[in-house]
């Protein structure tokens, strides 16, 4: 099963940059998008819903902000919009599809870069997600939570780690939480199952020459349940074209 995740930084902008042409070439089973920045009624089906896919979207109440979506070839048995926590759900940050053998989530974890209020919201979201993830683990059905987690886990996952230790996205508390998910919850960093190289980034700031110099962060993940350990066959970050300030992250699973 081939699954792609991308923070599109505006699905309409990504479409203009050729994302859906690439999507058609890749023939994925599931695609998770974050930061759609568009309401469902703003997306013309012929441009935004490739033939042969079921499409679901969770919009933010605020127009032009956040939002997540999922495309899947297989018709889901169930679709869940949000985690039943209004502050989080009103921003369109969680969309879950239950397929035959796998649950897939498109997640957009809040950023804390704009100040203390949003950083505190990010921490609160992390606490809520622990409960949700534990519930999913207890179900014992394999799952993958794809998306922009807005945290670089280790020094290997960020170019300028020294200069970012006091910045949201690389704070000790955030990194410790990711470690907790992997070590205590038994979750799996899908990309690292097959690729342990340095400088494998998924996001580059638009400031300066970040893209040209590969001054990036790995903040987009496939975080999978423990029963998918060893099931990742390939993992790749697509950088030949730029659809967004993030790059698509593609993993293939042997289910």
Mean pLDDT, consecutive 10-residue stretches, the chain (255 aa), reads: 98 98 98 97 95 98 97 98 98 98 98 96 98 98 98 98 97 98 98 97 96 97 98 98 98 97
Give the pLDDT score at 49: 96
Model pLDDT, residue 72: 98
User: What confidence score (pLDDT) does residue 193 get?
Assistant: 97
Which pair of tokens denotes residue 43?
Answer: 């997306």
Q: DSSP for 172-231? A: HHHHHHHHHHHHTS--EEGGGGT---S---SEE-SSTTTTTTT-EE--EEEEE-GGGTT-
Q: Which residues contact 57 (CB under 8 A, 6 or more apart)?
A: 36, 40, 43, 67, 68, 69, 70, 92, 95
Q: What is the pLDDT of residue 136?
A: 98
Domain at 2-253, CATH homologous superfamily: Endonuclease/exonuclease/phosphatase (3.60.10.10)
Residue extents of the structural domains in the chain? 2-253
- Give residue 51's pLDDT: 96
Active-site positions? 148
């Amino acid at each position: 099963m081939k699954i792609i995740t991308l923070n599109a930084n505006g699905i309409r902008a990504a479409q203009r940059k050729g994302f859906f042409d690439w999507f058609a070439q890749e023939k994925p089973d599931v695609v998770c998008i974050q930061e759609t920045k568009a309401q469902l009624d703003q997306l013309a089906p012929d441009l935004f819903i490739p033939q042969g896919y079921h499409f679901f979207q969770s919009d933010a109440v605020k127009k032009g902000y956040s939002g997540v979506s999922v495309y899947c070839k297989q018709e889901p048995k169930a679709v869940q919009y949000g985690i039943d926590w209004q502050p989080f759900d009103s921003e369109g940050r969680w969309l879950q599809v239950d397929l035959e053998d796998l649950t897939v989530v498109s997640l957009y974890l809040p950023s804390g870069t704009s100040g203390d209020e949003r950083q505190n919201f990010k921490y609160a979201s992390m606490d809520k997600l622990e409960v949700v993830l534990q519930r999913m683990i207890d179900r014992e059905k394999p799952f993958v939570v794809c998306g922009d987690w807005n945290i670089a886990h280790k020094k290997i996952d960020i170019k300028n780690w020294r200069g970012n230790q006091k910045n949201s996205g690389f704070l000790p508390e955030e990194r410790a939480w990711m470690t907790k998910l992997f070590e205590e919850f038994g979750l799996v960093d899908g990309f690292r199952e097959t690729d342990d190289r340095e400088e494998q980034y998924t996001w580059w700031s638009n400031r300066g020459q970040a893209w040209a110099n590969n001054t990036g962060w790995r903040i987009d993940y496939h975080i999978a349940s423990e029963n998918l350990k060893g099931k990742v066959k390939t993992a790749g970050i697509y950088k030949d074209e730029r659809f967004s300030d993030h790059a698509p992250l593609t993993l293939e699973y042997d289910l």
